[in-house]
């Protein structure tokens, strides 16, 4: 059976074209991200990072102010907003035509940013499960929505019951079948699926998920993969996040082969180069 994926995302009348895979560059304004080199603070550093993402081939800038690494300290809404609002203002001021996604699970933060800055892509690690107002608000405003799979919260997702699956690919696809219906009923029309690598998944589970990523085509929605420098690489290879670039690139190429439409990464240039090689080879594939 042939499934037809949606290939555009409408953000306030502007179309993000996913006929070719896109690179999403991470702009972290958290003080405790698992990858220390990704932490950004100060106006100049924020602008420089955004400029680097775009100059190196990034299509979307993903701004995050809440660390969702395992066992991360919980950040309250006031603190998250105090970090993310200045970063959003700077990116909008200096790069007004770029696509921005906001990495938050809180509907009130989305509401405040939308009322001030207009359309952006919601990037919700909980797919609405950590804030019951998120999906209704996304439907009301028409904001594009990245729904990620997680069990529990960043503070509890490592619990053994959250990481146990009989068939991880089938179970997560079933979750998204239900989630897609919920989003559609709320009025959300632009949905991006994120299987949630590293979130309530074991090392083995992450690799089973990557190997089975092609099955997500059945959902007929763009698929985002976020595996940049994650523990599925550095624990397997006995490395650190700082030493995991080569493994990340290998993983991202495998994700592209298995149908990924957006790669969320720290290393934009290296990923863009790998994407160019992947695209060139595909010109000649039979």
Contact 85, 104 (CB under 8 A): no
230 as an active site residue: the answer is yes
- Catalytically annotated residue among 69, 92, 264, 269: 264
> What residue ranges do the domains of the chain occupy?
8-278
pLDDT at 237: 97
What pTM did the predictor assign? 0.94
**What are the φ/ψ torsions at residue 145 (nearest 5 degrees)?**
-140, 120
CATH dotted code for 8-278: 3.20.20.20
Sorting pLDDT into bands at 50, 70 and 90, what band is 71? Answer: low
Alpha carbon distance 65, 56 (integer Å): 23
pLDDT at 32: 65
- Catalytically annotated residue among 217, 230, 235, 283: 230
Q: Which helix (H) or strand (E) holds 251?
A: helix 245-257
- Residue 189 is classified by DSSP as -
pLDDT at 75: 85
């Amino acid at each position: 059976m042939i499934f037809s994926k949606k290939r555009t995302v409408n953000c306030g009348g502007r179309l993000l074209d996913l006929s070719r895979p896109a690179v999403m560059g991470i702009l972290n304004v958290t003080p405790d991200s698992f990858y220390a080199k990704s932490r950004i603070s100060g106006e100049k550093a924020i602008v420089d990072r955004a400029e680097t993402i775009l100059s190196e081939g990034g299509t979307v800038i993903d701004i995050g102010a809440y660390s969702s690494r395992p066992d991360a300290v919980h950040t309250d809404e006031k603190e998250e907003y105090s970090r993310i609002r200045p970063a959003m203002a700077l990116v909008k001021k200096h790069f007004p035509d770029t696509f921005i996604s906001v990495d938050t699970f809180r509907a009130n933060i989305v509401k405040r940013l939308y009322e001030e800055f207009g359309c952006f892509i919601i990037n919700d690690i909980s797919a609405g499960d950590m804030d019951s107002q998120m999906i209704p608000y996304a439907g009301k405003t028409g904001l594009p929505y990245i729904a990620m799979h997680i069990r529990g919260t960043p503070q509890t997702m490592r619990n053994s019951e959250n990481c146990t699956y009989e068939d991880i690919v089938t179970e997560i696809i079933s979750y998204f079948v239900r989630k897609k219906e919920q989003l559609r009923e709320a009025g959300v029309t632009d949905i991006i699926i994120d299987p949630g690598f590293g979130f309530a998944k074991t090392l083995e589970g992450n690799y089973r998920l990557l190997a089975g990523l092609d099955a997500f085509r059945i959902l007929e929605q763009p698929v985002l993969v976020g595996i940049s420098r994650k523990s599925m690489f550095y624990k397997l290879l006995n490395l650190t996040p700082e030493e995991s670039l080569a493994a990340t690139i290998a993983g991202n190429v495998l994700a592209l082969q298995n149908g990924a439409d957006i790669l969320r990464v720290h290393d934009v240039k290296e990923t863009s180069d790998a994407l160019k090689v992947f695209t060139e080879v595909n010109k000649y594939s039979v």
